[in-house]
Amino acid sequence: MCRLSAITASEYTSVMEAIMALDTMKEGHDGSGLGVTLHDLGGEFEQLKEYPILSGICNPVGRKKIDDYMEARGFKVKFMWEPRITEVPGSSVVKRGQYLATAYQYPDNYMDKSEAEKGTLLTQTRLELRRLGEVDGSLYVFSFWPDVLTLKEVGDPLEVGEFFGFDKEPLLARTTLAQGRQNTNYAIYLYACHPFFLEGYCTMTNGENTAFVPNRDYLLSRGVAGYNGYNSDSEVFCHIMHFMHKQLKYPIQYYKDVITPLKDSEIAQRPEKDALLLMKRSLRQLCIDGPNCVIGFMPDGTVYMTQDSKKLRPGIVGGGPGKYALMSEECGVDQVIPNRNKENDIIPMRNDFITIAPGAQEVQVWNQLEG
Amino acid sequence: MESAGRLDHNGELSLLEFPYIIRWREDRCTRCGKCTAVCPTKAIEPSAMVQRIIQSDGATPLPDTIRRVSHIIRQVCDIDRHCVGCGTCSLVCPNMAIVPEYNPNHKFLFHKNRGGVPYKRGGRRNDPATSTIDKLKFTRISMLTDPALDAGRHEFHIRTLMGRIPPAESLQMRTEGNRLYLAEDGFIPPVREIFPIRIGGMSIGALSPPMWEGMAMGVAYLNEVENIPVVMCSGEGGLPPRLLKSRYLKYFIPQIASGYFGWDEIIHALPDMIEDPAAIEIKYGQGAKPGDGGLLMAYKVLKLIAKIRGVPMYVDLASPPTHQTKYSIEEAVAKMIQSVSMAWGFRVPVYPKISGTKTALAVLNNLARNPYAAALTIDGEDGATGAAFNVSMDKMGHPIASNLRDCYLELVKQGKQNELPLFAAGGVGKDGHLAANAAALIMLGASGVDIGRYILQAAAGCFGDEKNRCNLCNLGKCPRGITTQDPRLYKRLNADHVAERVVDVFKSAEVELKKIFAPLGRSTQLPIGMSDALAVTDQAIADRLKISYVC
């Protein structure tokens, strides 16, 4: 089972903190990969928040494809960042190519366009680059969005972190999602590695999604650009949030009502019962049966955690105003925030949906039954 | 002296031409006459036979030949009185002296057209081979990485939706604070939450009063006591007037078909209805006999049936093959659905039922564009019927599995797989695997399934099978009293017992569905379209249905 490690804080924290937490949960993953997605970046990216960052991996052929394509679309390179690769003898990590995080300036004709139009351009660009790379495996793109950076590589999470040189030159962000991968029923493939990102929405999940095929088929048939891939059964969790929050414009907590709907008799107790019942029926194919723990962030930086409602893949939230850790296991929280009041730790139950607003001042527990 | 022609009996049929041969044991028979009395086709009769016996009575052997007249049971070699293998003779025999045996080398169909009349019968396609849906296995078993659910302890929601489900994108919602509310206006189509196995359309007329009443009682009990919301379709022929005006109507789906039998009474009962029906089914076709309308033969049209259907007694009631007032699908389906919907103030789901066909996709696409179409039922070639030509049953129609799968995948392509529920029928439970067949069809994309013959077999002991056993439903001579209007026959059937068995069937099917869904890790919603759970050991079927091949 994969292990999940997320940190949200009012100050910038190093990605290495989340990776160290994963290391404490090492019994729960086999080191088949590490994926990190950071939001609200610090350090060199702090002054570049409005510029979309293209995250990915490429070889020289892929590099040229990216440069040619981006130039043809009118994107201009604003800032190029690469992790300082440290190859340690005996390490499980093998350098795959060039690890990219390049901030671009929008094409001139997009400067005055709306955020929605810019977002569409970014998604189209990412999908086209992905398509170009899938032909020959010359490049992978994980995200292309302002103030978001993603890195993924196969290997033990701690070794991958050291490989990227995070222990020497920390990458800073206010929100960090990191997943230590336990490879199960899929071949190790970078597009199957969490976290998954689409237009500001990002999730990582553990467990297996038994409702994957109906979920996937429903999303694929929505006609929304970006609902593709699905190399992992967990990618649907990201797109479900995107669909219900961005496309349908439902408030965030309804995510819980979509993936784990209440019984009709329980819905009848909620003030918005008429809407909920119709929603449950219309989104029937997005319901899951777990076992899953989902941790994600929203475009505004809100971080959330929730579980399936039967098998209850565990999760824990601990910390205090200014910094919270959302982890699969308590030892991960202990690693990141050892001196917290443990009595305030929250272990979400079957009907709970946890949110932490940007700034990480408090944890909100929304209970589905109480609405 | 007889002529040579009569001595060789040429021109007559030998017993070996017949599908069932009676095995009668003289040593056990008490000559009570019960078997000949109950035989529905009069295939056996009492007869006399001269026996040559060699006996010796003295202290020393002194063989003597005597001839004795003995009473026997003889099977007649008349094609119009052929033994159908029902086995009613065995059922009543006190000494196990008689049993029909299937004759695999029979030549029945070569001869069963005397007078130029093709063979007609009831039942389903005579093909005892394992059907495609019975070949499907459930292979995606949750193991360790995603623990299976507990069929006995976890809560399962084995329910489906019958009715048009608006796409989420079209729901008119408004946000107030952090809550979603339904906008005031806008038509919300009626939707029923039901058990995913329905009792398909079998008319009161095709079925005897105790059979129909027994099923109806069972359905009411399942809903009101067992909390299993099973619904039952009336078939073409209306509903008993008292039922129309009762609170139980909500468990029934009146069917409107091309003969409109019973609809005068239904429409006239509208002002007195205290409940809406579960749905209305418009029958455009039937899997067992595509291109044929319903057929109730004259000897089943007795007083009650004549009253419910609004027709004279003892006339053949043959519905036309199609709805005669309509000429095109765009107009026909849309107008019928809307006018029937309007009769109940758009509070009742109205859906068509068609026979499985290569043109199902055209119908589907038409319905997908019609926002009032509540569902589509597709009845595959293995569906049964009370009366049809043998050629229609055996050779006409389309298997349900690929027909349903094509339709579901087409809906997926259009993004409407959750909008227009598909119900699959025809051969569900043919080999007794009711829950497994239902689950397989659900995972291929059905929202639910219909059963017909299965429930007759399970609840009333229908003798029929796919080796043409019995299948006398069309003649009104059903030896079980299931498909007859003859009081002497249907008195054999106890409606209460039928109701009990109906309850048994659905309770056990619910448990079995849980036993299928639990290891697949699904419980909250029906796993509609969860095709990754399915596999088959036949590569061609796997390719056609887009599921895994395993060996």
CATH code of residue B446? 3.20.20.70
Higher pLDDT, B330 or A62: A62
Q: Judge whether B534 lies within some domain.
A: no
The residues near A338 (Cβ < 8 Å, ≥ 6 apart) are: none
Measured CA to CA, the distance from residue B428 to residue B512 in angstroms comes to: 15
Give me the helices (H) in B237-328, please.
241-244, 263-269, 303-309
- Amino acid identity for residue B538 in this structure: D
Give A245→chain B minimum CA distance, Å. Answer: 12
Per-residue pLDDT, A314: 86
**Pair (B228, B93) in one structural domain:** no
* Alpha-carbon distances, residue B337 vs A70, B342, B504 (angstroms): 54, 8, 35
| pLDDT tens digits, A104-125 | 999 999 999 999 999 999 999 9
Higher pLDDT, B146 or A126: A126
What are the tokens at B388?
């049809």
Task: Determine which of A284, A308, A355, A364 to mutate to test the interface with B (most B C-beta atoms within 10 Å).
Answer: A284
CB contact residues (below 8 A), chain A span 202-231, against chain B: 207-208, 210-214, 217-218, 220-223
For chain B, percent helix, then strand, then coil, each to nearest 5?
A: 35, 20, 50
Task: Determine which of A184, A215, A217 to mutate to test the interface with B (most B C-beta atoms within 10 Å).
Answer: A217
Is the pLDDT at A182 greater than 70? The verdict is no
Does any CB of chain B come closer than 8 Å to the CB of residue A289?
Answer: yes
Average pLDDT over residues B506-533: 95
Beta carbons of A205 and A294 less than 8 angstroms apart: yes
Q: Mark yes or no for CB contact A218/B523 under 8 Å.
A: no
Q: What percent of chain B has pLDDT over 90?
A: 77
Measured CA to CA, the distance from residue A288 to residue A282 in angstroms comes to: 14
A chain contacts of residue B525, beta-carbon cutoff 8 Å: 211, 261, 284-285, 287, 289
Does any CB of chain B come closer than 8 Å to the CB of residue A310?
Answer: yes
Average pLDDT over residues B357-369: 93
**Tally of domains within chain B:** 2
Q: Which of B146, B521, B529 sits opposite A214 (nearest CB)?
A: B529
Give A254→chain B minimum CA distance, Å. Answer: 9
| pLDDT tens digits, B2-16 | 565 567 888 889 999
Measured CA to CA, the distance from residue A166 to residue A179 in angstroms comes to: 16
- The angle at the Cα of A35, spanning A30 to A36, to the nearest 5 degrees, equals 135
Confidence of residue A185 (pLDDT cuts 50, 70, 90): very low
Does any CB of chain B come closer than 8 Å to the CB of residue A269?
Answer: no
Measured CA to CA, the distance from residue A16 to residue B203 in angstroms comes to: 72
* Alpha-carbon distances, residue B25 vs B22, B54, B85, B156, B328 (angstroms): 10, 20, 17, 53, 61
**Pair (B79, B220) in one structural domain:** no
Q: Mark yes or no for CB contact B182/A260 under 8 Å.
A: no
């619904």: which residue's tokens?
A: B231
Confidence of residue B61 (pLDDT cuts 50, 70, 90): confident
Is the pLDDT at B26 greater than 80? The verdict is yes
Q: Mark yes or no for CB contact B522/A263 under 8 Å.
A: no
Cα of first residue to Cα of last residue in chain A, in angstroms, is: 31
Measured CA to CA, the distance from residue B169 to residue A182 in angstroms comes to: 36
Q: Judge whether B418 lies within some domain.
A: yes
B chain contacts of residue A216, beta-carbon cutoff 8 Å: none
Q: Which of B169, B527, B532 sits opposite A248 (nearest CB)?
A: B169
Is the pLDDT at B333 greater than 90? The verdict is no
B chain contacts of residue A287, beta-carbon cutoff 8 Å: 524-525
Give B124→chain A minimum CA distance, Å. Answer: 33
Q: Mark yes or no for CB contact A253/B178 under 8 Å.
A: yes
CATH number at residue B41: 3.30.70
Per-residue pLDDT, B146: 73
Minimal CA–CA distance to B168: which of A286, A248, A226? Answer: A248
**Pair (B214, B354) in one structural domain:** yes
| pLDDT tens digits, A317-337 | 999 999 999 999 999 999 999
Average pLDDT over residues B451-458: 97
**Pair (B374, B508) in one structural domain:** yes
Q: Judge whether B531 lies within some domain.
A: no
Other beta carbons within 10 Å of B402: 19
Q: What percent of chain A has pLDDT over 70?
A: 96
| pLDDT tens digits, B192-206 | 999 999 999 999 889
Q: How many Cα atoms within 13 Å fall on the side-chain side of residue B132?
A: 23
A chain contacts of residue B169, beta-carbon cutoff 8 Å: 247-248
Task: Determine which of A254, A289, A364, A366 to mutate to test the interface with B (most B C-beta atoms within 10 Å).
Answer: A289
Higher pLDDT, A253 or B64: A253
pLDDT mean across residues, chain A: 92
Q: Mark yes or no for CB contact B168/A283 under 8 Å.
A: yes
A chain contacts of residue B413, beta-carbon cutoff 8 Å: 221
A chain contacts of residue B165, beta-carbon cutoff 8 Å: 281-282, 284
Per-residue pLDDT, A370: 85
Say if residue B271 is preceded by a cis peptide, omega within 30 of 0.
no
Minimal CA–CA distance to B446: which of B396, B411, B484, B483? Answer: B411
Per-residue pLDDT, A187: 55
Q: Judge whether B535 lies within some domain.
A: no
**Tally of domains within chain A:** 1
| pLDDT tens digits, A133-142 | 999 999 999 9
Measured CA to CA, the distance from residue B50 to residue B33 in angstroms comes to: 19
CATH number at residue A54: 3.60.20.10
What are the tokens at A181?
């991968």
Beta carbons of B521 and A289 less than 8 angstroms apart: yes
Does any CB of chain B come closer than 8 Å to the CB of residue A317?
Answer: no
A chain contacts of residue B157, beta-carbon cutoff 8 Å: 263
Is the pLDDT at B541 greater than 80? The verdict is yes
Average pLDDT over residues B373-397: 95
Q: Judge whether B302 lies within some domain.
A: yes
Q: What percent of chain B has pLDDT over 70?
A: 98
pLDDT mean across residues, chain B: 93
CB contact residues (below 8 A), chain A span 248-267, against chain B: 248-251, 253-254, 260-261, 263-264
Give me the helices (H) in B521-538, please.
none
The residues near A291 (Cβ < 8 Å, ≥ 6 apart) are: A207, A208, A308, A310, A311, A312, A313, B146, B147, B521
Task: Determine which of A29, A210, A273, A313 to mutate to test the interface with B (most B C-beta atoms within 10 Å).
Answer: A210
Q: Which of B146, B412, B524 sits opposite A207 (nearest CB)?
A: B146
B chain contacts of residue A288, beta-carbon cutoff 8 Å: 524
- The angle at the Cα of A9, spanning A7 to A10, to the nearest 5 degrees, equals 170
**Searching chain B, which residue's CA lies closest to the CA of residue A286?**
B525
Report how many Cβ contacts below 8 Å link chain A to chain B.
129
CA B13 to chain centroid: 33
**Pair (B111, B214) in one structural domain:** no
Minimal CA–CA distance to A53: which of A240, A200, A257? Answer: A200
Query: What region, left, alpha or beta, does residue B478 occupy, with left being phi > 0 and alpha being psi -120 to 50 degrees?
Result: beta
**Residue ranges of chain B whose CB lies within 8 Å of a chain A CB:** 140, 142, 145-147, 149, 154, 157, 161, 165-169, 171, 173, 175, 178-182, 188, 191, 193, 412-418, 520-525, 527-532
Beta carbons of B478 and B86 less than 8 angstroms apart: no
Is the pLDDT at A13 greater than 70? The verdict is yes
A chain contacts of residue B142, beta-carbon cutoff 8 Å: 208, 210
Lowest-pLDDT range of A294-308, B8-22, B144-158, B479-493: B144-158
Per-residue pLDDT, B5: 58
Lowest-pLDDT range of A163-172, B84-93, B121-130, B411-420: A163-172
Give A287→chain B minimum CA distance, Å. Answer: 7
**Pair (B205, B113) in one structural domain:** no
Give A225→chain B minimum CA distance, Å. Answer: 14
Measured CA to CA, the distance from residue A327 to residue A307 in angstroms comes to: 12
CB contact residues (below 8 A), chain A span 227-246, against chain B: 244
B chain contacts of residue A185, beta-carbon cutoff 8 Å: 145
Per-residue pLDDT, A29: 59
**Searching chain A, which residue's CA lies closest to the CA of residue B191?**
A281
Structural domain including A84 reads 3-367
Average pLDDT over residues B178-196: 91
Higher pLDDT, A256 or A34: A256
Structural domain including B16 reads 4-54+64-117
**Pair (B243, B388) in one structural domain:** yes
**Searching chain A, which residue's CA lies closest to the CA of residue B524?**
A289
* Alpha-carbon distances, residue B145 vs A183, A311, B391, B522, B525 (angstroms): 10, 12, 52, 14, 21
Q: Judge whether B529 lies within some domain.
A: no
What are the tokens at B536?
């088959």
Per-residue pLDDT, B258: 87
Give B168→chain A minimum CA distance, Å. Answer: 5
**Pair (B75, B223) in one structural domain:** no
3-state secondary structure of B196: coil
Q: Judge whether B144 lies within some domain.
A: no
**Searching chain A, which residue's CA lies closest to the CA of residue B412?**
A221
Q: Judge whether B151 lies within some domain.
A: no
Measured CA to CA, the distance from residue B423 to residue B353 in angstroms comes to: 9
Task: Determine which of B524, B526, B532, B534 to mutate to test the interface with A (most A C-beta atoms within 10 Å).
Answer: B524
Confidence of residue A90 (pLDDT cuts 50, 70, 90): confident
